[in-house]
Structure 1
Amino acid sequence: MQNNKSAARQYVCKRRSDKMKITVRVKPNAKKDHIEAEREGEYIAQIKAAPAEGKANNALIKLLAAHFDIARSRIKIISGFSSRNKIIEIIYTRKQ
């Protein structure tokens, strides 16, 4: 993962016990599905799916689940359903 400078965007990374919020900039209609960390709490996701009928959102959730190695049901789009800029909540389970 790379750290790129981007003064234009602000990142959100709030972690409380078992929840984390991140920002994701989505680029739909990409050649392949790929996610890259921009900075702490900020990601850029390239998605093959088109931004129609929630297909890109579903593909994003699937990609994030694979990236963070968690179930898709633990990822929720908080804001930006129809925008390229999204705030995502990720729920972790604590290991005992």
Structure 2
Amino acid sequence: MQITVRVKPGSRRGPLVEDGPDGLLVHVRERAADGAANAGVVRALAEHFGVPARDVEIVRGHTARIKRVEVGE
């Protein structure tokens, strides 16, 4: 399934996934440098959905705060 998420990198609240008005809001502690925040998003979503991290892939928006993510089963 594909979902749209909004990412808050460098958040003190992270790692946290919560429902927002436009979909899921993902708070991660990692900063948006060298792909660290993207890795944090993958780990947080994998834990949230109860799947291995290898089953979560960022499809679109690698450098943006709004991302399209594919979550396998």
TM-score interval (norm. to shorter): over 0.9
Tell whether 2:67 aligns with 1:86: yes
TM-score by length of 2: 0.93
Identical columns (%): 31
Deviation at 1:38, TM superposition (A): 2.0
For the aligned residues, what is the CA RMSD?
1.3
For the residue of structure 2 that corresponds to 1:70, the secondary structure is: coil
Tell which has more relative contact order, 1 or 2 (C-alpha 8 A, sep 6+).
Answer: 2
Equivalent pairs counted in the alignment come to: 72
| TM norm structure 1 | 0.71
Write the letter of the residue equivalent to 1:45.
Answer: V
**1:53 paired residue number:** 34
The one-letter code of the counterpart of 1:76 is E
Larger Rg: 1
Unmatched runs of 5 consecutive residues or more in structure 2? none
Q: Select 2:19's aligned residue among 2, 24, 37.
A: 37
Hey, which bits of structure 1, 4+ residues long, moved more than 3 A? Answer: none
- What's the secondary structure of 2:19's corresponding residue? strand
Q: Distance in 1 between matches of 2:59 and 2:70?
A: 6
CA offsets 1:25-46 (integer angstroms, 9 cap, x no match)? 001110031110225x820011
| Structure 1: gaps (5+ residues) | 1-19
